[in-house]
Amino acid sequence: MANVAFVLADDFEDSEFKVPYDRITRAGHQVTVIGSESGKEVRGKKGKESFTLEATPDEVNAADFDALVIPGGYAPDKLRMSPGVVKFVKGMFEGDKPVAAICHAGSLLVEADAVRGRTVTSWPSIRTDLINAGADWVDREVAEDGNLITSRKPDDLDAFVDAILGRL
């Protein structure tokens, strides 16, 4: 089974973490949730979900993971300010491993320089940021381009997780 990393910070979109996490673990894959501080509890922006971070980017190696999932919400904007998280995302992307980002998570992909020349989708408010970073933005449920898997919003979660599981 695959070893899947999630990156998470406070104010993540609750369902965009919980639905992929649950489905990926139910499918038998190992998941490690990475963030700024091991043992820190982070909370979803709607207050429905919380999770205790299991590792920092300095404690893990991108080469040890088979895929990365980046939930949306306000967390990606916080994570893009963490050099360790950005380096980890870039390592996963450059290692040609599946990198899955939903909603506002595209902002972290921009910071990791992972969208240039790629077709992606996202929440509409970061469309211009993605285009300015060299992406071809499309408005569809899921966009897959090379090792990138992107989706727009919580309504797209079933298709998003199906695409991730299809790569694992």
Give the active site residue among 78, 80, 97, 104. 104
- Euclidean distance between CA atoms 115 and 92, whole angstroms: 13
Strands (E), the chain: 3-7, 30-34, 41-43, 50-52, 67-70, 99-102, 119-120, 136-137, 142-145, 148-151
Summary count for the chain: helices (H), strands (E): 6, 10
Give the active site residue among 31, 85, 86, 103. 103
Establish whether 104 is a catalytic residue. Answer: yes
Establish whether 29 is a catalytic residue. Answer: no
Q: Which residues are catalytic?
A: 103-104
